[in-house]
Amino acid sequence: MSAPYRQDMPPPGGFQQIRYKRNLPFRGPSGAVILAGVTAFCGYGFYRIGLGNLEKRELQRERVWSRIHLVPLLLAEGDRDAYRRQHAALEREKEIMKDVPGWEAGKSVYHNPRYRPADTMVVL
């Protein structure tokens, strides 16, 4: 008893494709894309820093000019006080040295008419 001869054949429609390719999941954007993205991001940041530096410069200019406008006022007030102290020091010197003959009160030790601020100050 023998089975009738039958040639073994592929299934109708052929075999399935052999899956030889690696089946890896998508791992995110490529290195080049990330690099480009980070560069763009940093570039924008640096651009803002540049704008901020320009703004800082303007803020500094504003600050400086606000002070420059006040300088005459503060200097005038300080000058009046300095003049008052000078005057008081002279009076004091006259009072202390009144018994010394030939003493010139307020005479500078330098032979120079240029103004020198007092080296010492009496806080009163």
Is residue 91 a contact residue for another protein (CB under 8 A)? yes
Q: Is 98 in the site for another protein (CB under 8 A)?
A: no
- By the rule CB under 8 A, 43 interacts with another protein: no
| Residue whose structure tokens are 């998508």 | 26
User: How far apart (Å, rounded) are the C-alpha atoms in residues 31 and 37?
Assistant: 10
SS3 6: coil
Residue 28 backbone zone (phi > 0: left; psi -120 to 50: alpha; other: beta):
left
Residues of span 46-85 touching another protein by CB under 8 A: 48, 51-52, 55-56, 58-59, 61-63, 65-73, 75-80, 82-85
Which CB sits closer to another protein, 40 or 75? 75
Q: CB 85: neighbour CB atoms within 10 A?
A: 15
Closer to another protein by Cβ: residue 80 or 94: 80
Nearer to another protein, 86 or 105 (CB): 86
Between 34 and 57, whose beta carbon lies closer to another protein? Answer: 57
Q: 60: part of which helix (H) or strand (E)?
A: helix 31-96
By the criterion CB under 8 A, which residues form the site for another protein? Answer: 48, 51-52, 55-56, 58-59, 61-63, 65-73, 75-80, 82-88, 91-92, 115, 117, 124
